[in-house]
C-alpha cells in the first residue's frame, strides 16, 4: 500500500484526496502556487511545497516542478485529481520512469482514450454505440464540409483534446460551417495546444448520462451506476444526480453493460467514467471517457457507500477490488450543486476575492466538499469552483427538498456566487419533474 502521496492539484479535489488519505493512514504532500499559500489544501496536508507562481503552466501544470517536488518530499505515489495533469500521458509516463506510482490508468491508456476522436474509433471496435460522426480528425475545410454533409446538419465541431466544455462549435447548416470549423480549431489550439478537431452529429435535446467504473489489475471491472449531468451551462455541468431519473430498466442496464464492456475492451485499470448522450428516443451514444476522478463522483459515493478516491488509491497500490458487482447496493437518491464564485447577473463572470462571512449548511443527509473558509481570499487565476453541496435522500423528491433547504442555509459574502441561481434551477418545474436535457438552462428566461 502507498505510504505517502503527493496531491498534484488544488481546491476542493485536493482537499477531498487529502481527507481519504488521512483516513487510510497515508501521509500527504500538497503542492501549491504562491497565490495558494493560504489555501485549505496547503494547510491540511502533512507537508506543503511551493512549486511556482503566475500562470498555471508555471505551477500546477509544470511537470518538472511537480515531479521534483515529489522526489524531494519522498512520496511513493502521486494523485492528479481532475483537470491540470490528470489526463496528461507524459506526466504519467515520467512518473513511472522515476519509479513513482501515478494514481490513475497507465500512460498508454490515457493516450488511447484522451484523444476523443481516437476513443470514438476504439469504442466502435468494442461494439459500443458512438454518436454518428467523422471517422477521425479532419484537417481541411473542404473534407470537413463533405463529412458534415454526409453526417447531416446540425453538426458539432469538437476538439480532439477538448475538455471542460471548451473547444466545440455548433454548425446549423453549410452557411455557418466554415466559421464554426475555424473557430473550434483556433479555440482548441489556444486552450489545449492542439487544434485537431472531429465532427459529430448534433444530438437534439439529449440527456448527459455517464457511468462510473472501477477496474483493478486483475481483470475485475465493476460499475457504480450512472449519473445524470444534463443540467449544463455552455456544456459545463451545474447540477448532477444519481441515479438518472426516469430511465427504463432496459436503458439503465444497457448503459451499465456498455460501460463495463468498454472498460474491459481497453483493459482499463483505475476509476474512470464513460460519458454518453441519451437521445429522447432512448438510444444512447458514447461521447468520451474520462480517465480520472470526476467532479461529480460524490453522488455515486452517496448512493453506493463506496469511497471512490480510496478505491483509486488501492487499485494503484496493486490491491484487488474489495467489491464484486453483486456487493454494490444502490440506496436512495443523491444530488450535487456546484457552488461557483461567479456573478449570474453579469453573465457568470468569475467573482474572486475575500470571503468575509461563511456559513456552511449541515444536517441530515448533507455533505459539503469544499476548500473555503472565512478570511480566505479566492485567487482570480484558477477555477471558480468553491465547493460542492451534495445531498442524499430516500427519493429524488426528498433529495430536491433537502438540496433546496441546504442551499437556503448556505451563506458566502464577499465573492458573488451562484447559490441563488441554483435555488432557481432546482425549483424549475421541468427539473422537479425530471424533464431535463442539456439545453434546458439555455431555454429558460432567467430575467423573470
- The residues of the shown chain that bind Mg ion, judged by CB under 5 A, are 275
Binding stretches for ligand ADP (CB under 6 A): 82-83, 87, 131, 156, 161-165, 192, 200-203, 206, 208, 232, 235-237, 275, 277, 287-288, 290, 294-296, 383, 438
Query: 3-state class of 406 per DSSP?
Result: helix
Closest residue to Mg ion, based on beta-carbon distance:
275
CB nearer to ligand ADP: give 45 or 308.
308
Among Mg ion, ligand ADP, none, residue 304 binds (CB under 5-8 Å by kind): none
CB burial of 160-183 (b: ≥16 within 10 Å; e: otherwise) equals bbbbeebbbbebeeeeebeebbbb
The least CB distance from residue 315 to ligand ADP, in Å, is: 19
**Residues 297 and 304: beta-carbon distance below 8 Å:** no
DSSP 8-state assignment for residue 351: -
The least CB distance from residue 210 to Mg ion, in Å, is: 8
CB nearer to ligand ADP: give 73 or 88.
88
Strands, sheet with 197-201, edge to edge from the N-terminal-most edge strand: 168-171, 155-159, 197-201
Among ligand ADP, Mg ion, none, residue 291 binds (CB under 5-8 Å by kind): none
The least CB distance from residue 54 to Mg ion, in Å, is: 28
CB nearer to Mg ion: give 167 or 361.
167
Burial class (CB in 10 A: 0-12, 13-18, 19+), 384: buried
The least CB distance from residue 393 to ligand ADP, in Å, is: 22
**Residues 263 and 291: beta-carbon distance below 8 Å:** no
The least CB distance from residue 154 to ligand ADP, in Å, is: 9
Alpha carbons 102 and 93: distance in angstroms, whole number: 8
Alpha carbons 6 and 24: distance in angstroms, whole number: 14
The least CB distance from residue 288 to ligand ADP, in Å, is: 5
Nearest 5°: phi and psi at 47?
A: -145, 150
Among ligand ADP, Mg ion, none, residue 232 binds (CB under 5-8 Å by kind): ligand ADP
The least CB distance from residue 275 to Mg ion, in Å, is: 5
Among Mg ion, ligand ADP, none, residue 18 binds (CB under 5-8 Å by kind): none
CB nearer to Mg ion: give 114 or 225.
114
The least CB distance from residue 83 to Mg ion, in Å, is: 12
CB nearer to ligand ADP: give 73 or 156.
156
Please name which of 430, 118, 173, 94 lies closest in space to residue 289, comparing C-alpha atoms: 118
Q: How crowded is residue 186: how many other Cβ atoms within 10 Å of its Cβ?
A: 12
Residue in the structure block whose three cell numbers are 478537431: 197
Residues acting as catalytic residues: 292
Among Mg ion, ligand ADP, none, residue 241 binds (CB under 5-8 Å by kind): none
Closest residue to ligand ADP, based on beta-carbon distance:
163
Q: Give the CA dihedral 40, 45, 50, 53, nearest 10 degrees.
A: -30
Contacts 24+ apart (CB under 8 A), 145-150: 145/174, 145/177, 145/178, 145/181, 147/199, 148/174, 148/177, 148/199, 149/174
CB nearer to ligand ADP: give 234 or 346.
234
Among ligand ADP, Mg ion, none, residue 60 binds (CB under 5-8 Å by kind): none
Residues 6+ apart with CB under 8 A from 85: 8, 60, 61, 63, 66, 91
Nearest 5°: phi and psi at 410?
A: -70, 125
CB nearer to ligand ADP: give 82 or 431.
82
Among ligand ADP, Mg ion, none, residue 208 binds (CB under 5-8 Å by kind): ligand ADP
Alpha carbons 256 and 265: distance in angstroms, whole number: 14
CB nearer to ligand ADP: give 246 or 280.
280
Among Mg ion, ligand ADP, none, residue 134 binds (CB under 5-8 Å by kind): none
Question: What is the per-residue DSSP string for 117-154?
Answer: HHHHHHHHHHT--B-SB-SS-B--HHHHHHHHHHH-SS
Amino acid at each position: 500500500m502507498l505510504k505517502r502521496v503527493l496531491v498534484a492539484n488544488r481546491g476542493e479535489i485536493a482537499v477531498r484526496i487529502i481527507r481519504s488519505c488521512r483516513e487510510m493512514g497515508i501521509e500527504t504532500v500538497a503542492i501549491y502556487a504562491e497565490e495558494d499559500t493560504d489555501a485549505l489544501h496547503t494547510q491540511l496536508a502533512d507537508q506543503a511545497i511551493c512549486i511556482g507562481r503566475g500562470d498555471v503552466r508555471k505551477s500546477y501544470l509544470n511537470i518538472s516542478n511537480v515531479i521534483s517536488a515529489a522526489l524531494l518530499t519522498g512520496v511513493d505515489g502521486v494523485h492528479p485529481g481532475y483537470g491540470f495533469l490528470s489526463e496528461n500521458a507524459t506526466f504519467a509516463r515520467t512518473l513511472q520512469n522515476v519509479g513513482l506510482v501515478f494514481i490513475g490508468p497507465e500512460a498508454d491508456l490515457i493516450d488511447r482514450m484522451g484523444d476523443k476522436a481516437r476513443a470514438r474509433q476504439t469504442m466502435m471496435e468494442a461494439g459500443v454505440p458512438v454518436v454518428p460522426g467523422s471517422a477521425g480528425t479532419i484537417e481541411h475545410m473542404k473534407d470537413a464540409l463533405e463529412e458534415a454533409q454526409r453526417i447531416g446538419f446540425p453538426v458539432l465541431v469538437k476538439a480532439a483534446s477538448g475538455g471542460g466544455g471548451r473547444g466545440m462549435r455548433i454548425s446549423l447548416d453549410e452557411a455557418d460551417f466554415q466559421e464554426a470549423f475555424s473557430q473550434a480549431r483556433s479555440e482548441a489550439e489556444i486552450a489545449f495546444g492542439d487544434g485537431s478537431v472531429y465532427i459529430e452529429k448534433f444530438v437534439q435535446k439529449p440527456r448527459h448520462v455517464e457511468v462510473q467504473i472501477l477496474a483493478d489489475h486483475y481483470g475485475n471491472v465493476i460499475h457504480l451506476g450512472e449519473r445524470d449531468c444534463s443540467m449544463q451551462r455552455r456544456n459545463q455541468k451545474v447540477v448532477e444526480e444519481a441515479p438518472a431519473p426516469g430511465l427504463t430498466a432496459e436503458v439503465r442496464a444497457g448503459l451499465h453493460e456498455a460501460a463495463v464492456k468498454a472498460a474491459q475492451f481497453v483493459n482499463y485499470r483505475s476509476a474512470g467514467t464513460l460519458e454518453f448522450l441519451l437521445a429522447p428516443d432512448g438510444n444512447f451514444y458514447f461521447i468520451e471517457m474520462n480517465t480520472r476522478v470526476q467532479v461529480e463522483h460524490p453522488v455515486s459515493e452517496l448512493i453506493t457507500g463506496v469511497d471512490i478516491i480510496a478505491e483509486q488509491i488501492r487499485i494503484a497500490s496493486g490491491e484487488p477490488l474489495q467489491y464484486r458487482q453483486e456487493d454494490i447496493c444502490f440506496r436512495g437518491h443523491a444530488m450535487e450543486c456546484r457552488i461557483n464564485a461567479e456573478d449570474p447577473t453579469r453573465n457568470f463572470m468569475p467573482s474572486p476575492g475575500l470571503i468575509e462571512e461563511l456559513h456552511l449548511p449541515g444536517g441530515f443527509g448533507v455533505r459539503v466538499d469544499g476548500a473555503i473558509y472565512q478570511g480566505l481570499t479566492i485567487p482570480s487565476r484558477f477555477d471558480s469552483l468553491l465547493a460542492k453541496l451534495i445531498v442524499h435522500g430516500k427519493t429524488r423528491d426528498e433529495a430536491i427538498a433537502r438540496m433546496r433547504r441546504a442551499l437556503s442555509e448556505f451563506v458566502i459574502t464577499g465573492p458573488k456566487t451562484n447559490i441563488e441561481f441554483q435555488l432557481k434551477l432546482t425549483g424549475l418545474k421541468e427539473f422537479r419533474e425530471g424533464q431535463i436535457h442539456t439545453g434546458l438552462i439555455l431555454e429558460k428566461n432567467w430575467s423573470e
